[in-house]
Amino acid sequence: MNYLKDERLDALASDYVMGTMQGLARERFIRLMQTYPAVRERVWFWEQMLAPLNERLPLQSPPPHMWDDISHRIGFTAMDKQDAANDETKSPWLAWGGGLATAAVLIMGIFFLMPVTEQTTLTEQVAVFKDGNQPLWLMEVSDGELTVQATSAVAMSDEYDYELWIVPADGGSPISLGLVPESGMLSRTLAVNTRDMAIKAMAVSRELPGGSVTGLPGEVLYVTELTIL
């Protein structure tokens, strides 16, 4: 398998950056990064593209019982807590030291011992529109929501807009997914279920301001494959 093909490399690099690549596949990809500069460049690109999406993840606090569970797993028992409390009356410095050591162990326990109780929604489908080797837009579909991130390489104009299209594999008419941004990021709920569709490609067309008035693409500028993760 040629891992350095653009479409395959984009799929692998995005999978690696999102943390969904595991086991032997992850080890092989790390070796590829160590060997090929092109692989490292794609990983860097996806890190830059996906970083803004972190802001969309809601903050979550562990349930109250989590601290007791972690304490139990690392052997910090109720007797240890009582001993630490008794130490406070003997030496405040020892009490502080014990408290800091315990806090450090508990924090490490969060990362290494905390079970996953809730799954974060992961990206299901991605596409990268490029002009030659220059990325223009990153498109992703996650839980029925479409997100499109524009890069600084997108040409901006007041005379036209860019519109996103699905090209069905059955030869049917292209399906519009609406306008895509010339800068920044845009998110919207999908009106169609792309997961259950046979899609040949994704396309971006250049249209008059406001988008296509005929229901069909105007001048098609960029075409790319949709990668299922």
Distance between CA atoms of residues 54 and 58, nearest Å: 9
What stretches of the chain show up as alpha helix (H) in DSSP? 6-18, 23-35, 37-50, 65-73, 78-90, 92-113
Confidence of residue 4 (pLDDT cuts 50, 70, 90): low
pLDDT in tens, 45-98: 887 777 666 666 667 777 777 777 777 776 665 555 555 555 545 544 444 444
- Beta-bridge partner residues of 185: 149
Tell me the HSE value of 171 on the side-chain side, using a 13 A CA sphere: 0
CB 71 within 8 A of CB 102: no
Residue appearing with tokens 């809601």: 58
What pTM was computed for the model? 0.53
The rounded percent of the chain whose pLDDT value lies above 70 is 71
**Chain centre distance of CA 46:** 9
Question: Token pair for residue 154?
Answer: 């997108």
Rg of the chain in Å (alpha carbons): 25
- pLDDT (average), residues 105-126: 48
Average pLDDT, the chain: 76
